[in-house]
């Protein structure tokens, strides 16, 4: 079983409710519990990514309740280091025969270290496992590096916004 397939298996519910994880080097990828405490640091991870946008960018009012709500609708994984520090997370939601990538965030200081690529590999392997007809995501047109990264993972851009460029992948 490949690393991506092992991570994809974490998206599936555990038959006995046990906590499952995959260790990749010094990283631990695990299924996230749908509980308030689980999402305590996820907003901090999202806000740290706004540094890429510059000082004037505002992330909006997306707190842990927002991420908790998304996790309740779908499947979520968290990446931690051996000390338990949260480094990133991903949330996907099944919509019929499609899989929607709701969120994928890493701590700013962890950019370029392969954590996002590791999670994206798990998302795409999960999509293949469930025979999803397509994987979609929505991103702002104000983040050109996001577009390049998604396109390098095999996504194609479909413009859907006029006033504020937004793209469906």
pLDDT in tens, 128-151: 999 999 898 877 666 667 778 888
Pick from 125, 124, 106, 102: which is nearest to 115 by CA?
106
- pLDDT averaged over every residue in the chain: 79
For the chain, what percent of residues have pLDDT higher than 70? Answer: 69
- Per-residue pLDDT at 123: 96
The CA–CA distances, whole Å, from 16 to 66, 91, 98, 103 equal 27, 22, 26, 27
**Residue-range domains of the chain with CATH:** 3-133 (3.40.630.30)
């Amino acid at each position: 079983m490949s690393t991506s397939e092992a991570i994809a298996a974490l998206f599936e519910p555990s038959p006995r409710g046990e906590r499952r994880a995959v260790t990749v080097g010094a990283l631990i990828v695990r299924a996230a519990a749908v509980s308030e405490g689980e999402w305590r640091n996820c907003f901090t991870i999202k806000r740290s990514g706004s540094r890429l946008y510059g000082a004037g960018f505002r992330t909006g009012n997306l707190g842990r309740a927002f991420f908790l709500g998304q996790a309740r609708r779908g499947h979520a994984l968290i990446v931690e280091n051996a000390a338990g520090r949260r480094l990133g997370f991903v949330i996907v939601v099944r919509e019929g025969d499609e899989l929607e990538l709701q969120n994928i965030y890493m701590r700013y200081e962890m950019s370029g270290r392969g954590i996002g690529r590791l999670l994206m590999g798990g998302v795409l392997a999960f999509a293949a496992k469930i025979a999803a007809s397509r994987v979609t995501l929505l991103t702002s047109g104000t983040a050109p590096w996001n577009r390049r990264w998604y396109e390098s993972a095999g996504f194609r851009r479909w413009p859907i916004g006029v006033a504020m460029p937004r793209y469906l992948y």
